[in-house]
Structure 1
Amino acid sequence: MAALRQNATSRYRNTSMSTGSAHRKRWLAAAAVALVALAVMGIARLRGPVLPGYDVQAGPLVQNVVATGRVAAASRVQVGPEITGLVLERRVMDGDRVAPGDVLVVLRARDLEAHRDQARAALAALRQAERPDAEARLRQARAQLAQAERDHARRRELGQRQLVARESVEQAAQAVVAARAAAEQARLAVGALAGGGAREAQAREELAATEATLARAVIRATVAGTVLTRGVEPGDTVRPGDVLLEIAADAPGEILLPVDEKNIARLRVGQRATCIADAFPGRAFAATVHHIAPAVDPARGTVDVRLRIDPKAGFVRQDMTVTATLLTGERERALAVPNDALLDARDGSDRATVLLVRDGRVRRTAVTLGLRGLAMSEVTAGLREGDRVLAASALDADALPADGDRVRIEAQMLPASDSATRRELPVKFN
């Protein structure tokens, strides 16, 4: 029995020693882990917090201006009547092509036709009746003058021989004067009625005027172009001032863009643009800035910019909504940083501040800006390629580190670009 108790006691002591040893090992392991964690935390605290930032890179850079406008005709011609009349025919429809002289609308004008017929009759009467009658009166007047001259000659001879009274000779002389005046008057009348004379010229002018007025009843195209709208149908009565048709004159197509006035400095005549119509989102086409309005619309605070469309874009239609991306700046090689890395960057100013991180410490650094956009901006002075900057604008003002603070950067992706080698700086006007 004693031996059995001794063996049991020995086993109990061995078990107790084993359990204590295990507890000590676990405690030591936990202590080691805690020490390691404290060491890591201490090192991390010494290295500073992890903050978002960017690597400054150099490469080709473009700046774009994005705006939305509409396709506009360079010239729109409103066609209206010059006289009052009833519409007999409308010979064109929306979308029809017209050339100068093409008949668009025909009016009925009975009163003008009557005036024309009256003028024609007057000219015919002058040629066929008045002129022959005047020529006959001229012949008669000349014959009467000849007779009066002969009678005067006989009486004068008789008076010299004192066979007739002097009074009779004087009367014959007066008859000659009267006959000569009548002959001259008849001659002038024939001259006025002769071909090319004053009366015929007047009759011809009156006829031409009535025909010209009547010609206004046929409304013709004055320019080559495309019919945009029509506002008349056969049977309508129209008056001067009514708009019957609207024609877009043939000219290079244009896009009218209203641009915020604060962005005028970015624009130049001749800048290239890539355009996409809402109706054809998969068919981009080219355009060029060819006019910038000299004045700003005070109500909207915008300036009108006109783009000339590439003639190859034959699918573009009037009044289509178009989004235009204008190339306003380009660099073959430039440093660029995202805009959320800039502090104190004001519109119209080329100065800003960045939080530069070198050797793990923050340095507040002044930079000079070049091309600027909504996503990124060019840095022309103050940074070099390979520098690292904090995304300062993404941090709370209270969380901004001070000069000399230790920080670590968690690199962020740069704003999306249009290709692997070109970064765009989109600037949206409106």
Structure 2
Amino acid sequence: MDRFRRLWSAAKPYRTPALVLLLLVAAAAWFGPGLLLGPQVPVRTVTQRDFVQSVVASGHVEAPHRVSIGTQITGTVRRVPVAEGQVVAAGQVLIELESAELRAAAAQADVAVAQAQARLRQVAEVQAPVAEQALRQAQVNLDNARAQLRRNADLFRQGFIGQAALDDLQKAVDLAQAQLHSAQKQVETARSGGSDHAIAVTALQQARASADAAHSRLRYATIEAPVAGTLIDRSVEAGDVVQPGKALMVLSPAGETELVVQIDEKNIHLLALGQQARASADAYPESRFDARLVYINPGVDAQRGSVEVKLAVAEPPAYLRQDMTVSVDIQVAARPAAVLVPTDAVHDVDAAAPWVLRVEEGRARRRPVRLGLRSGGLSEVLDGLRAGDLVVPAAEARIRDGSRLRPLAAGRAGGMSP
């Protein structure tokens, strides 16, 4: 130690220049590459592969139509045998109303029908035969009266009887003829098509119509599912007094499921009916299912700047529920072996003349590019780049055309597009 101190003291005149020289060498080693070769910059690699352009949107699950369930009469709810979210079959009972009064009215109407039927049978089985018998009797009486008038007319001409007796016999003939005419009318009214028969038939029809109305009102007390489906809303309980015009339940019919999504209006030109899509429910993001574009609204929502589209799901997964939130990727175009560059490396990407900074022999060089499809952070390069080229991200504002740089590979344009 003492020896080192003596040597350090002996070198005192030379210590300062040596230290400065040492610092200069260290600084050159540290800053030299940056000054001579430029800064280290993360770059992107241009790749080539099959590419699919997708339009991404979100929306919800919806049945093609919904059925609102209500009542056609005012009444008190007796029973609600189904719960919200339950799958029901067509014809299954959903709501029962108190129906004692309605059953009594239907029974009373049935009795009125029976009475009308009995009256019609009475006309056909009693009144008509009696009228025909009376007609035959009236005909016999008229024949007898006419025969007596003929005989007594001969006696009158012979002077055996007077005019008064002959007049009485003529009156008897007129009376018998009137009775015959009355009997004929009785027969006509009692026969099929006659007035009494028609009145009886009309009374029977009216009674049956009243009975049908009473039974219809009785049937209204039991509300059934018009189609099979899932109850997505229920707003009625036992004891409630319900009236026509109010929805008590909402039924989502079984059948094809649709996804209703909003698409940014700037992507309208990319859409076409029949395009395939992949969708997932936000509650089950790991599970994806197929869908197909079946409807594009002809109008644009001016407030949101979007267009409503619908996609049919031919085979909806079992977990899919009405009004679930979904994410949809609609495949609008595809390119085999496309040259791809990260969109974040393209300057003026939406302008008429986009360009990139390509790494060439340690320098950044501005190169114009012509773009094609874009999706998922990637852009198809139709002209200006080749697979394997390195490009500088547009966010690297310190790098300009002609700047030196040392490329630092930070990513490749090979990530999967959504």
Does TM, normalized by the shorter one, top 0.5?
yes
Task: Give 1:159 shift.
Answer: 2.9
The answer as to whether partners of 1:76 and 1:249 remain within 8 angstroms in 2 is yes
The answer as to whether partners of 1:62 and 1:423 remain within 8 angstroms in 2 is no
Which residue number corresponds to residue 288 of structure 2?
Answer: 285
The structure 1 residue matched to 2:185, chosen from 181, 185, 190, is 181
Separation of aligned partners in 2, 1:407 and 1:337: 21
Please give the residue correspondences for 1:393-408 in structure 2 after superposition, counting only pairs within 5 Å.
Answer: 393-396=394-397, 401-402=400-401, 405-408=402-405
**Aligned-partner residue type, residue 394 of structure 1:** A
CA offsets per residue over residues 303-359 of structure 1, 9 Å max, x none? 22334446362122333333334444433311111223222222xx67522234445
* Number of residue pairs the alignment of both structures matches: 393
The answer as to whether partners of 1:341 and 1:389 remain within 8 angstroms in 2 is yes
The answer as to whether partners of 1:131 and 1:190 remain within 8 angstroms in 2 is no
Separation of aligned partners in 1, 2:186 and 2:27: 146
The structure 2 residue matched to 1:255, chosen from 249, 256, 259, is 259
The answer as to whether partners of 1:138 and 1:190 remain within 8 angstroms in 2 is no
Deviates more, 1:149-158 or 1:159-168: 159-168
Task: Give 1:51 shift.
Answer: 5.1
Separation of aligned partners in 1, 2:23 and 2:110: 126
Task: Give 1:239 shift.
Answer: 0.7
Percent identity (aligned): 34
Q: CA RMSD in A?
A: 3.7
Task: Give 1:219 shift.
Answer: 0.6
Separation of aligned partners in 2, 1:309 and 1:215: 37
Deviates more, 1:101-110 or 1:163-172: 163-172
Which residue number corresponds to residue 308 of structure 2?
Answer: 304
Please give the residue correspondences for 1:217-228 in structure 2 after superposition, counting only pairs within 5 Å.
Answer: 217-228=221-232
Q: Measured at CA, do residues 28 and 350 of structure 1 come closer, stay the same or move farther in structure 2, by a change above 3 Å?
A: closer
Which residue number corresponds to residue 344 of structure 1?
Answer: 348
Ranges in structure 1 where 5+ consecutive residues have no aligned partner: 1-14
CA offsets per residue over residues 174-210 of structure 1, 9 Å max, x none? 332222112211222564478xx44433432332232
Separation of aligned partners in 2, 1:20 and 1:135: 153
Task: Give 1:92 shift.
Answer: 1.1
Q: Measured at CA, do residues 27 and 100 of structure 1 come closer, stay the same or move farther in structure 2, by a change above 3 Å?
A: closer
CA offsets per residue over residues 262-295 of structure 1, 9 Å max, x none? 22333344444444434334x4121213333323
Which residue number corresponds to residue 148 of structure 1?
Answer: 138
The answer as to whether partners of 1:60 and 1:423 remain within 8 angstroms in 2 is no
The answer as to whether partners of 2:61 and 2:257 remain within 8 angstroms in 1 is yes
Task: Give 1:126 shift.
Answer: 1.9
Separation of aligned partners in 1, 2:406 and 2:23: 31
**Aligned-partner residue type, residue 67 of structure 1:** A
The structure 2 residue matched to 1:377, chosen from 365, 376, 379, is 379
The answer as to whether partners of 2:292 and 2:313 remain within 8 angstroms in 1 is no
Instruction: Determine whether 1:93 maps to 2:90.
Output: no
Which residue number corresponds to residue 200 of structure 1?
Answer: 204
The answer as to whether partners of 1:81 and 1:240 remain within 8 angstroms in 2 is yes
SS at match of 2:230: strand
Separation of aligned partners in 1, 2:26 and 2:141: 162
CA offsets per residue over residues 87-111 of structure 1, 9 Å max, x none? 1111111232211111111112455
Please give the residue correspondences for 1:75-154 in structure 2 after superposition, counting only pairs within 5 Å.
Answer: 75-129=65-119, 131-132=121-122, 135-154=125-144
Q: Measured at CA, do residues 146 and 233 of structure 1 come closer, stay the same or move farther in structure 2, by a change above 3 Å?
A: same
SS at match of 2:185: helix
Separation of aligned partners in 1, 2:99 and 2:125: 38
**Aligned-partner residue type, residue 266 of structure 2:** K
The answer as to whether partners of 2:259 and 2:310 remain within 8 angstroms in 1 is yes
Separation of aligned partners in 2, 1:100 and 1:308: 23
Which residue number corresponds to residue 268 of structure 2?
Answer: 264
SS at match of 1:150: helix
CA offsets per residue over residues 233-274 of structure 1, 9 Å max, x none? 111111111222222211233333222222233334444444
The structure 2 residue matched to 1:160, chosen from 132, 137, 150, is 150
The answer as to whether partners of 2:124 and 2:197 remain within 8 angstroms in 1 is no
The structure 2 residue matched to 1:413, chosen from 407, 410, 413, is 410
Task: Give 1:129 shift.
Answer: 4.5
Q: Measured at CA, do residues 149 and 406 of structure 1 come closer, stay the same or move farther in structure 2, by a change above 3 Å?
A: same
Separation of aligned partners in 1, 2:12 and 2:281: 82
SS at match of 1:201: helix
Separation of aligned partners in 2, 1:333 and 1:159: 126
The answer as to whether partners of 1:285 and 1:313 remain within 8 angstroms in 2 is no
Which residue number corresponds to residue 213 of structure 1?
Answer: 217
SS at match of 1:280: coil
Please give the residue correspondences for 1:414-429 in structure 2 after superposition, counting only pairs within 5 Å.
Answer: 414=411, 423-425=415-417
